[in-house]
Amino acid sequence: MDVIVDGYNLIFSIKELGSSTEKSDIEFMRNRFLSILEQYKEERKHKLIVVFDGKGSVVSSETRVAGIEVVFSRPDLDADEEIKRMVSNSKRPRQIIVVTSDRNIIQFVRKYGSKVVEPLKFYKDVKKKITRLSTSKQEGRKIAKEEEKEPISKYIGPTKAEAQYWLKVFSNKQENG
C-alpha cells in the first residue's frame, strides 16, 4: 500500500501543526511535520510520499527523509496536479491511499479506485502510532491498545512560536522579580 499525503493541505488542516503563511514559518511547519512522519514511519512498512507545492523551483525536487519520499511539484504543476499525475500513472491505483481534504483531488483519485483518508483521521492515526512506539520504547515492550488524548507536541517539543513566548514570559519575570 502506498500513501500519498497532500502536505500543505494536511498541515493547514491540523491547528496543532500551525497556521502561519510566513515563508520561514511554513518551512518550520513542514520540517516539523516531516519529523513527526519520521517517527510514524518507524512503525509502518508501506511507502510514504508527501507532496508539497514547489512553485518557483526549476525542476521537480524529490528527497528522502528517513524512508519518506518528499516531492515538491514542478513549476508547471501544483501539488494537487502532481498527486493526480501520480495516481493516474500508477500501475496499481487501487493500492494507493491519498490523504487530503481537497474535493477536486478526492473526486479524481476515487475514479481510479484509490482510497481517500481525511487529514485529521490520518493525523490521529500517526499520533496514536507515535505514542504507542514511544511508550513501547520506554517500557521495552509493545502496548496492545492505547488511546492517548495528549497533544503530539508533548512528544516533539514546542513550536518556535511557543518557545519564543515562554522565553519572553520567563525573561520578563526575571527582570521584574
Tens-place pLDDT, residues 55-112? 544 344 556 667 789 998 887 788 999 999 999 999 999 999 999 999 999 999 999 9
Q: What is the pTM of this model?
A: 0.70
pLDDT value, residue 60: 45
- Grouping H, G, I as helix, E, B as strand and the rest as coil, residue 64 is strand
Best mean pLDDT range from 35-39, 76-80, 85-89, 127-131: 85-89
27-30 long-range Cβ contacts below 8 angstroms, 24+ apart: 28/159, 28/160
Domain spans of the chain? 2-176
